[in-house]
Amino acid sequence: MIAVLLSGAVAMALSLAATRLLMRFFANLGVGQPILGKEDNGPVHHMAKQGTPTMGGTAIIGSAFIGWVVAHLRHGLAFSDQALIMWLGIAILAFMGFLDDYLKVRYGHNRGIFWKKKGYITFGIVVAVMTLMLTSTGVSETLSFTRWNLPGWQLQPIIWVVWTSLMVWATTNAVNVTDGLDGLAAGSALFGFLAFTIIAYWAFRNPTIYQLVNPLDLAVMSAALAGACGGFLWWNAAPARIFMGDVGALGIGAALGMMAVATNTQLLLPLICALNVMEAGSVAIQMTVFKASGRKKRLFRMSPIHHHFELKGWPETTVIIRFWIISGICVAASLAIFIADFTRLSDLTQGLK
């Protein structure tokens, strides 16, 4: 437990300081986040935010990694192959996001250059990372809900890679879509990483039930990511003084998705990341209605759905806090399901003795 707390504390302190340094750096350069205008059907009501420093996600990812490494200085905690592969995937996707952020800032347009091809590129990266995880670690190849044997359907290797890749890729995109209001993505991610910290540590304390690959290392990693999000949120809370950018959104999304794979909670992920599902789902529904109506009708005033409520007259802080509440409730519900399953299984085990 000390290693878990240490990683979270170190990552939070570093993120708090590093984000402040990034703000100064970009302020001195005089560059910041461009906002989509009316011609691109963008959130014109956010034009006042144009020029706000971005790429703050580099502080999140970097601080979390250092916090995770520092925790391993304690005797008895080994670096796991699985966590190293996950960090590799996070780093590559975060770098993809960094490139897109750089191009947006350089050319002064929020689309970047990779926006049409980014989905294909990131999916290919995720497939490669999940293939490496499958072939290099003892990760379970079953379809899982709260543990490896529930429902425990054995998947063929290629099906497992495709399924988990789609899941991780969808999560990266969902977090990216959520990152549209000050602190919304960072706050909901903080809840998610706290949930995975509890799940992984619970599995560490009950190894015969969950049979994870080095669950303590997963708990330390998740705690570091949670702490880094918390430190960043100090500066990113409304009114934001820095944005996380795609470098943060893609890195955080990849981490959440891979945590679900590593902890055998694949089918629990949609509830842990329910807010991200709602945000991405609103975009999909909006596009479906718009195309089905011959490009004449829209279900929401603007998507993602957080912009819809803003245009209905909700202040930005009201939308953020209410969406945080929704996220917190869903994360609490997911933990309740996880613990309830453990309790039921423990009762059955006791009854057999």
Give one DSSP letter per residue of 67-126, joined into a string.
Answer: HHHHHTTSTT-PPPHHHHHHHHHHHHHHHHHHHHHHHHHHHT-TTTTTTTTHHHHHHHHH
Instruction: Name the percent of the chain lying above pLDDT 90.
Output: 75
Closest CA to 157 of 189, 185, 130, 122: 130
**Which residues is 142 bridged to in the sheet?**
154
Q: DSSP code of 288?
A: H
Residues 56, 19 contacting (CB under 8 angstroms): yes
Q: What is the mean pLDDT of residues 180-203?
A: 96
pLDDT of 37 over the 70 cut: no
Tokens of 310: 């803003």
Quote the pLDDT of residue 237.
93
Instruction: Output 195 or 27, whichever has higher pLDDT.
Output: 195
Quote the pLDDT of residue 52.
86
Instruction: Output 349 or 178, whichever has higher pLDDT.
Output: 178
Q: Look over the chain and give the mean of its residue pLDDT values, rounded to a whole number.
A: 90
**Which residues is 144 bridged to in the sheet?**
151
Please state, as a whole number, how many other Cβ atoms lie within 10 Å of the Cβ of residue 346. Answer: 12
Dihedral pair phi/psi, residue 113, rounded to 5°: -115, -30
Q: Residue 117 — very low, low, confident or very high, per pLDDT cuts 50/70/90?
A: confident
Maximum separation of any 2 CA atoms in the chain, in Å: 69
- Angstrom CA distances, 219 to 79, 199, 292, stand at 12, 8, 45
Q: What is the mean pLDDT of residues 158-169?
A: 97
Please state, as a whole number, how many other Cβ atoms lie within 10 Å of the Cβ of residue 267. Answer: 15
Q: Which helix (H) or strand (E) holds 164?
A: helix 157-178
Q: Quick one: how far is CA 335 from the chain centroid?
A: 17
For residues 93 and 277, give the distance between their C-alpha atoms in angstroms, rounded to a whole number.
Answer: 20
Tokens of 53: 């420093």
Quote the pLDDT of residue 53.
86
Q: Where are the alpha helices (DSSP H) in 137-273?
A: 157-178, 184-205, 207-210, 215-236, 245-262, 269-272
Quote the pLDDT of residue 153.
94
For residues 351 and 34, give the distance between their C-alpha atoms in angstroms, rounded to a whole number.
Answer: 62
Please state, as a whole number, how many other Cβ atoms lie within 10 Å of the Cβ of residue 41. Answer: 11
Q: DSSP code of 149?
A: T
pLDDT of 39 over the 70 cut: no
- Angstrom CA distances, 80 to 63, 157, 183, 225, stand at 19, 22, 31, 17
Quote the pLDDT of residue 116.
65
Please state, as a whole number, how many other Cβ atoms lie within 10 Å of the Cβ of residue 299. Answer: 15
Tally: H helices and E strands in the chain: 13, 2
Residues 156, 350 contacting (CB under 8 angstroms): no
Q: Residue 273 — very low, low, confident or very high, per pLDDT cuts 50/70/90?
A: very high
**Which residues have a Cβ under 8 Å from the Cβ of 151 and sit 6 or more positions away?**
142, 143, 144, 145
Quote the pLDDT of residue 100.
87
Mean pLDDT check: name the lowest of 49-63, 99-113, 141-155, 285-299: 99-113
Instruction: Name the percent of the chain lying above pLDDT 70.
Output: 91
For residues 193 and 273, give the distance between their C-alpha atoms in angstroms, rounded to a whole number.
Answer: 10
Tokens of 259: 């945590």
Quote the pLDDT of residue 115.
59
Parse the chain into domains and list their residue ranges. Answer: 2-271
Quote the pLDDT of residue 180.
87
Instruction: Output 56 or 47, whichever has higher pLDDT.
Output: 56
pLDDT of 59 over the 60 cut: yes
Tokens of 98: 């960094």
